[in-house]
Amino acid sequence: MKVLVLNSGSSSIKYQLFEMRDESVLAAGSIEQIDEPGSHLSHCVRSPQGEMTKTLRTLPINDHRQGFALIASVLKETGALADTGELKGIGHRVVHGGEKFKEPTRVTPEVLSTIRALIPLAPLHNPANLLGMEVAMESAPSVPQVAVFDTAFHQSIPRHAYHYAIPKKLYEAHQVRRYGFHGTSHRYVVKKAAEFLQKPLESLNLISLHLGNGASAAAIRQGRCIDTSMGLTPLEGLIMGTRCGDLDPAIIFYLERETGLTSGAIESILNKESGLKGICGVNDMRTVGEMASAGNPEAQLAITMYCYRIKKYIGAYYAVLGGLDGLIFTGGIGENADFIRAACCEGLAHLGLKMDNGKNLGRPEGCSAMESKDSRARILVIPTNEELEIAEQTVACLEAEPL
């Protein structure tokens, strides 16, 4: 049973084709710079021996429709998928599902209109996700399609945690509330944690830290998300590559008055020029780590601030969970940066979190435990796999709602 997962951006389409019997990746790739000079396709296909062969083609790709046709034709040429009719379904990543979508949902014209109505909540992402779904539905009309929302896992957050302390009418008229993002990743790693610990997810209290270019924390009580650090948008919460995370909201009005910058320009600074980049000039944690080791004080400060913010969230979520079974690190930084994991856990023995510094070293293979023998809670590194989670949810949705 094959499932294609699509992640459609404004000028790109990323894809992975899965064989769901053994959850293997048959092919994966991306189309980048659609309607720009240098538009190209990068495609990897798995040989029968299990080796991945990569091809790169630079060619004019004028729109998403051409992009989808190119993906279908390269999947065919390389023997991964003879025809889109072989697909059990296509799963689409959709960033914002608002309050409407609490679960993966079969794509219909009504669902598309509801996602369209949510564009004001995610003006950069939802239009591109919609375009991807429309093109895929037109190009492969007989293949069932499923929308999987980044916000859905967080829809279990209770009202006292999702409301902001602002006039109620701003929620009622404009849906201003905490939604949270990276839900697909948090959902995947907490499921994997339960498998790894050989305990039912419903019995576990976990804190999940997705640390990639974007970063977010989630508090999971008995398997359900009860709080998360991102808010109405992905700007709130942890310090990220280029996003500031938590901030006194009055800073925006102060900057407007003092600098004459427009709110749009300030929004861009907070999203694209802040975070690690704002503190030390670079947003890639590998470079920040190298600079810090070479003695650069700004890079050292960036790492200290980054981990201090994470520790504050661990403390807050520990308090609201009322007990912790495990802390999960995932995402490019969480999976790879041992120095960040070590600094985030340092001094948390009083919360029952004690790292074994030897086990923590390097990048572990698969899921692994990093805590010392006398740690009350587990400390886990779990590689995320958002595409596989989308594929699994696509199958689950289609099996729950057959045509």
Active site positions, annotated: 150
Number of neighbouring beta carbons within 10 Å of residue 388:
19
Number of H helices, E strands in the chain: 15, 14
> Are 289 and 276 a contacting pair, CB within 8 Å?
no
What's the closest the beta carbon of residue 30 comes to ligand ADP, in angstroms? 13
> Any idea which residue has 């041992």 for tokens?
338
In the bound complex, what is the minimum distance in angstroms from residue 289's beta carbon to ligand ADP?
Answer: 6
Contacts of 28 (CB under 8 A, 6+ apart): 15, 16, 17, 43, 44, 387
The smaller minimum CB distance to ligand ADP, of residues 95 and 226, is found at 95
Window 265-294: residues binding ligand ADP (CB under 6 A): 284-286, 289
336 binds ligand ADP (CB under 6 A): yes
**213 scored as a contact of ligand ADP (CB under 6 A):** yes
The reply to whether 67 sits near ligand ADP by the rule CB under 6 A is no
Single out the segment in contact with ligand ADP by CB under 6 A; choices: 76-84, 208-216, 254-262, 313-321.
Answer: 208-216
132, 245, 326, 331: residue in contact with ligand ADP (rule CB under 6 A): 331
Type of residue found at 84: T
8 Å CB contact between 377 and 327: yes
Among 332, 352, 359, 372, binds ligand ADP (CB under 6 A): 332
Residue 9 CB, shortest distance to ligand ADP, in Å, is 12
Compare residues 72 and 333 and give the one whose CB is closer to ligand ADP: 333
b/e map of 224-246 (b: 16 or more CB within 10 Å)? bbbbbbbbbbbbbbbbbbbbbbe
Taking the C-alpha atoms of residue 155 and residue 100, their distance in angstroms, rounded to an integer, is 9
305 binds ligand ADP (CB under 6 A): no
> Any idea of the CA torsion for 328, 330, 336, 338, to the nearest 10 degrees?
-30
Looking at 97, 98, 214, 245, which residue binds ligand ADP (CB under 6 A)?
A: 214
Smallest distance, ligand ADP to C-beta of residue 285, A: 4
Phi/psi-derived region of residue 92, left when phi > 0, alpha when psi is between -120 and 50, beta in every other case: beta
Q: Which is nearer to ligand ADP, 284 or 356 (CB)?
A: 284
Q: State the virtual CA torsion across 183, 189, 195, 200 in degrees, nearest 10.
A: -40
User: Can you spell out the DSSP letters for 8-30?
Assistant: E-SS-EEEEEEETTTTEEEEEEE
In sign, the C-alpha dihedral spanning 98, 103, 104, 105 is: negative
Assess 381 for contact with ligand ADP (CB under 6 A): no
CB under 6 A: which stretch of 155-163, 166-174, 253-261, 326-334 binds ligand ADP? 326-334
Contacts with ligand ADP, 229-258, as mask; x by CB under 6 A:
------------x-----------------
Q: Which of 91, 144, 212, 326 binds ligand ADP (CB under 6 A)?
A: 212
Q: Report, in Å, the least distance between residue 330 CB and ligand ADP.
A: 8
Please enumerate in sequence order all residues whose Cβ is within 8 A of that of 244, keeping only pairs 6 or more positions apart, or say none: 235, 270, 274, 275, 278
| Residues near ligand ADP (CB under 6 A), total | 13
- Chain residues binding ligand ADP by CB under 6 A are 212-214, 241, 284-286, 289, 331-333, 336-337
